[in-house]
Amino acid sequence: MKTRLHGLVAATHTPFHADGTLAPEVVPLQAAHLAKQGIRSVFITGSTGEGHSLTRAERIEIFEAWAEAGPAHDLVVIAHAGSNCLEDARCFAAAAQDLGLDAVAALAPSYYKPASVGALVECCAVIASAAPSLPFYYYDIPVLTGVRFPMREFLAAAPNRIPNFAGIKFTNDDLAEYSSCLAAGGFDIPWGIDEKLLPALQAGAKGAVGSSYNFAAPLYQKLIAAFEAGDIATARTLQDDAVALIDKLAAIGYLGAAKAVMGWQGVPLGPARLPVPNPTPAQLDALRETLESPVLQP
């Protein structure tokens, strides 16, 4: 599989109008903004993209928008296809392949949860088989799905059932497990927790998928450069800065606040959809006053 999720991968937001309806016409602005910030890959309709709050038609409409905007800005596009309904997930995976996107990912069904690693592999195999020409990534995010299995065991079993298996989007704070997965070799395993990027780099991460890379990519690029230069003290300071930034947004509702920050940078993404809350105008005004000006540059 030629696709590798190395470097910073932006987990993109789904744009809405102020009334909450889909705004796919904003996707080219997103793509241009990310490319200007040095981002080369995007992960669409995942947790940050409110994928589970989109209808089937809306998710495919976003796929279509990125199928045009991604190549126009030299961006690799990974489509999240996961769903509690495996037939819907297969539909999304097939659409991603038909539209010429670069890879597919899926998290575990989370209402009726797979009861074993083997059952999880079977669910992933069903989805991956609908897009056999695309690399398939399992999206491990137990804090949201409630599905938590040793990923070393998943890596041992998945290639036997999933011919196009590429790796794991590892949004799981178990760094020991992450190190073990990297040690297995032969898989692409991007890290998925922005606040712990530096420890993941120290463990051997080659790539990272995250939401704050949409609006703060330069900060993380400096962090990675410092790490690669052996300047761990600077890298730690930059990681602390990233955590402080995320904490400020999280204090008033992270997803809605992050979409607002993107609007301040020239990419109007609208509100988050219920059940995700949105900050009040007063909270956003206070947030803007506390943020460093470089974060707000378009």
Residues annotated as part of the active site: 139, 169
d(CA 276, CA 274): 5
Tell whether omega for the bond before 275 is within 30 degrees of 0, i.e. cis. yes
The DSSP 8-state label assigned to residue 143 in this structure reads: H
DSSP string across 5-52: --EEEEEPPPPB-TTS-B-GGGHHHHHHHHHHTT--EEEESSTTTTGG
d(CA 285, CA 291): 10
d(CA 30, CA 67): 13
Provide the b/e sequence for 89-103 (b: ≥16 CB within 10 Å). Answer: bbbbbbbbbebebbb
